[in-house]
């Protein structure tokens, strides 16, 4: 994943992450002084760990305080929906990679979509702590700063 070769800051939100190339590229962020953070679904990752043939050390982020486990539930018409279907990677606060495409070793066999957006204002909107299942403290870790997004809010950033 050459896109991650020279980046300084990465934020991730995913249901599962098991793509060997992505995991390999993110390994350089393993040191505690590197700027990385994310939110993942522990139920999805539990399935990954059960079936993967990759070394467990590739999944270092599961025990890293810069990542937050936020369990989601499948769709139901009778309750609030929090299923993490949209996967997101924000690179250096300016590039947003987002869509239904799982960051998994099997994703290319599925029908998925993916957008790469080069726009700081879009990245800032994505950095807003909008995940309802996160506490303020946990959302602050996702944003990597005060937990507050940009002063100017777009309509898209207010939804949620």
pLDDT at residue 40 above 50?
A: yes
Tens-digit pLDDT profile for residues 111-156: 778 899 999 999 988 887 644 444 444 544 444 443 343 333 333 3
Averaged pLDDT for residues 87-105 = 89
112 Cβ partners below 8 Å, 6+ apart? 99, 100, 101, 102
pLDDT of residue 1: 60
Element at 144 (helix H, strand E): none
Contact 108, 19 (CB under 8 A): no
Residue with tokens 């249901």: 15
More confident residue, 8 or 157: 8
Which two tokens mark 4? 């991650």
Averaged pLDDT for residues 79-99 = 84
Closest CA to 61 of 70, 69, 51, 53: 69
Tens-digit pLDDT profile for residues 1-35: 677 888 999 999 998 899 999 999 999 999 989 99
Instruction: Give how far the C-alpha of residue 77 lies from the chain's centroid of Cα atoms, to the nearest Å.
Output: 25
Contact 4, 34 (CB under 8 A): no
pTM to 2 decimal places: 0.76
pLDDT at residue 87 above 70?
A: yes
């Amino acid at each position: 994943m050459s896109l991650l070769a020279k980046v300084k800051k990465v934020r991730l939100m995913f249901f599962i992450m098991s793509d060997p190339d992505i995991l390999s590229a993110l390994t350089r962020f393993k040191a505690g002084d590197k700027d990385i953070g994310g939110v993942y679904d522990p139920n999805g990752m539990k399935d990954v760990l059960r079936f993967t043939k990759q070394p467990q050390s590739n999944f270092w982020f599961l025990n890293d305080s810069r990542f937050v486990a936020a369990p989601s539930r499948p769709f139901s018409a009778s309750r609030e929906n929090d299923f993490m279907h949209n996967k997101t990677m924000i690179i250096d606060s300016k590039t947003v990679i987002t869509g239904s495409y799982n960051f998994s070793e099997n994703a290319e066999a599925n029908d998925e979509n993916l957008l790469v957006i080069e726009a700081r204002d879009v990245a800032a909107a994505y950095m807003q702590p909008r995940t309802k299942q996160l506490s303020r403290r946990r959302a602050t870790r996702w944003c990597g700063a005060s937990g507050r997004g940009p002063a100017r809010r777009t309509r898209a950033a207010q939804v949620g």
